[in-house]
Chain A
Amino acid sequence: METMSKADATAVVANTVAVATVLEPAISLKGATKRYGTRTPGATILDGIDLTVAKKEFVSIIGPSGCGKSTLLKLVAGLNPITKGTIAIDGMTPANAREIVSFIFQDATLLPWRTVRENVVLGLELEGIARARRSEKVDAVLKMVGLAHVADRFPRELSGGMKMRVSIARALATRPKVLLLDEPFAALDEMTRDRINEDLLKLREEQEWTALFVTHSVAEAVFLSTRILVLAPYPGRIAHDIAVDLPFPRNEETRSTPQYEQYVVEVSRALRGVSKA
Chain B
Amino acid sequence: MNIKKSMLNLFTALAILCALLLLWQGLIWLFNIQPYLLPSPKAVAHAVVTRFPSLMTSLGITAMEAAVGLAGSLVVGILIALLFAQSPWVRKMFYPYTILLQTVPIVAIAPLILMWVGTGIGSVMLVAFIICLAPIIANTTQGLISVDRNMVDLFLMHNASRPQVLLKLRMPHALPSIFTGIRISAGIAVIGAITGELFGGASRVGVGGIGYAIQYASSQLETDYLFALVFAASVLGFAFFFVTMFLEWYFLHEWHESARSVDDE
Contacts of A99 in B (CB 8 A): 159
Contacts of A102 in B (CB 8 A): 157
Q: Considering the chains assembled together, what is the distance between the CA atoms of A149 and B151 in angstroms? A: 25
- A78-104 contact mask (Cβ, 8 Å, vs B): 1 or 0: 010000000000000000001101110
Contact call A156/B255, Cβ cutoff below 8 A: yes
Contact call B153/A123, Cβ cutoff below 8 A: no
Asked if A126 meets B159 with Cβ closer than 8 Å, knowing A109-B148, A109-B151, A111-B172, the reply is: yes
Contacts of B4 in A (CB 8 A): none
Q: Is B71 an interface residue (CB 8 A)?
A: no
Q: Considering the chains assembled together, what is the distance between the CA atoms of A50 and B168 in angstroms? A: 38
Q: Which residue of A lies closest to B158 (CB)?
A: A126
Contact call B155/A126, Cβ cutoff below 8 A: yes
Q: Which residue of B lies closest to A112 (CB)?
A: B255
Contacts of B168 in A (CB 8 A): 111, 122, 125-126
Contacts of A174 in B (CB 8 A): 158
Q: Considering the chains assembled together, what is the distance between the CA atoms of A105 and B157 in angstroms? A: 11
- B157-184 contact mask (Cβ, 8 Å, vs A): 1 or 0: 1111000100011001101000000000
Q: Is B115 an interface residue (CB 8 A)?
A: no
Within 8 Å by CB of A79, from B151, B153, B169, lies B153
Q: Is A154 an interface residue (CB 8 A)?
A: yes
Q: Which residue of A lies closest to B164 (CB)?
A: A126
Q: Which residue of B lies closest to A108 (CB)?
A: B150
Q: Which residue of B lies closest to A79 (CB)?
A: B153
Contact call B175/A79, Cβ cutoff below 8 A: no
Q: Is A106 an interface residue (CB 8 A)?
A: yes
Residue with the highest number of chain A CB atoms closer than 10 Å, among B156, B172, B173: B156
How many residues of chain B get a CB closer than 8 Å to chain A's CBs? 21
Contact call B157/A103, Cβ cutoff below 8 A: yes
Contacts of A127 in B (CB 8 A): 158-159
Q: Is B264 an interface residue (CB 8 A)?
A: no
| Nearest-Cβ distance from residue A96 to partner chain B, whole angstroms | 10
Q: Is B254 an interface residue (CB 8 A)?
A: yes
Contact call A154/B164, Cβ cutoff below 8 A: no
Residue with the highest number of chain A CB atoms closer than 10 Å, among B158, B172, B173: B158
Q: Is B257 an interface residue (CB 8 A)?
A: yes
Contact call B159/A109, Cβ cutoff below 8 A: no
Q: Considering the chains assembled together, what is the distance between the CA atoms of A247 and B173 in angstroms? A: 45
| Nearest-Cβ distance from residue A24 to partner chain B, whole angstroms | 23
| Nearest-Cβ distance from residue B255 to partner chain A, whole angstroms | 5
Contact call A109/B154, Cβ cutoff below 8 A: yes
Q: Considering the chains assembled together, what is the distance between the CA atoms of A109 and B156 in angstroms? A: 13
Contacts of B151 in A (CB 8 A): 109, 111
Contact call B255/A79, Cβ cutoff below 8 A: no
Contact call A98/B256, Cβ cutoff below 8 A: no
Q: Is A107 an interface residue (CB 8 A)?
A: yes
Q: Considering the chains assembled together, what is the distance between the CA atoms of A106 and B154 in angstroms? A: 12
Contact call A154/B153, Cβ cutoff below 8 A: no
Contact call B150/A109, Cβ cutoff below 8 A: yes
Contacts of B175 in A (CB 8 A): 113
Contacts of A212 in B (CB 8 A): none
Asked if A156 meets B156 with Cβ closer than 8 Å, knowing A106-B150, A109-B148, A111-B172, the reply is: no
Contact call B156/A122, Cβ cutoff below 8 A: no
Q: Which residue of A lies closest to B256 (CB)?
A: A112
Q: Which residue of A lies closest to B251 (CB)?
A: A113
Q: Is A77 an interface residue (CB 8 A)?
A: yes
Contacts of A106 in B (CB 8 A): 150
| Nearest-Cβ distance from residue A33 to partner chain B, whole angstroms | 21
Q: Which residue of B lies closest to A96 (CB)?
A: B159
| Nearest-Cβ distance from residue A49 to partner chain B, whole angstroms | 21
Contacts of A109 in B (CB 8 A): 148, 150-151, 154
Residue with the highest number of chain B CB atoms closer than 10 Å, among A79, A107, A155: A79
Please name 5 pairs of A and B residues whose Cβ atoms are closer than 8 Å in the assembled complex, sorted by A: A98-B156, A105-B150, A109-B148, A154-B254, A156-B255
Q: Lowest 6 CB-CB distances: which A-B pairs, in order?
A: A126-B158, A105-B150, A103-B157, A126-B160, A113-B255, A113-B172
